Amino acid sequence: MDAVTLLKQDHDEVSDLLKEFQSASDAEKEEIAAKICDALTIHAQIEEQIFYPAARSVLDDDDMSLVDEADIEHATIKGLVKRIQGQGPADDHFEALVTVLGEYVKHHVKEEEKQLFPKVRRSGLDLDSVGEQLAELKDQLSSRPEMAPAL
């Protein structure tokens, strides 16, 4: 699977989980939030370690800001994930945190899918090779007990 297709599948998975969270019972929300956080943690790591450096290697200087913005968005998302994981439903703002996380994720996904991914696809980058690297790292991270998403 090519890199863009793999990353879009991750985006769709998280989007589905966020929708599921909104309609879930209070008893189900903690488990769904944990799945969202695990999936985002792994997704961010594979993008930051493999995809973004590969994108930087082929993009024009004018387009580097897309990757820079994605890095900053990841930092914000990771901060929300850390708070959700640290406090869970005990946090008075638990549902609001997950909702805001979802809004940040939707914005991030829109920018990647509408701007960054098309430019990378047109760049000539070997997306199949990068996709294999992403899948391999994702499998490794998913098999680590502290990172394994409960999907």
Is 150 within a domain?
no
Is 151 within a domain?
no
Is 149 within a domain?
no
Rounded Cα–Cα distance for residues 93 and 100 (Å): 10
* Residue 27 lies in domain: 3-143
Rounded Cα–Cα distance for residues 107 and 41 (Å): 17
Number of independent structural domains in the chain: 1
Is 98 within a domain?
yes
Is 15 within a domain?
yes
Is 19 within a domain?
yes
Q: What is the pLDDT of residues 52-91, one digit of tens each?
A: 999 999 999 999 999 999 999 999 999 999 999 998 888 8
Q: What is the pLDDT of residues 88-143, one digit of tens each?
A: 888 889 999 999 999 999 999 999 999 999 999 999 999 999 999 999 999 999 98
* DSSP conformation letters of 53-114: HHHHHHS-GGGHHHHHHHHHHHHHHHHHHHHHHHHGGGSTTHHHHHHHHHHHHHHHHHHIII
- Decide: 135 and 129 in contact? Cβ < 8 Å: no
Rounded Cα–Cα distance for residues 91 and 51 (Å): 34
Is 117 within a domain?
yes
Residue 144 has pLDDT above 90, yes or no: no
Is 56 within a domain?
yes
Q: What is the mean pLDDT of residues 10-28?
A: 95
Give the pLDDT score at 143.
87
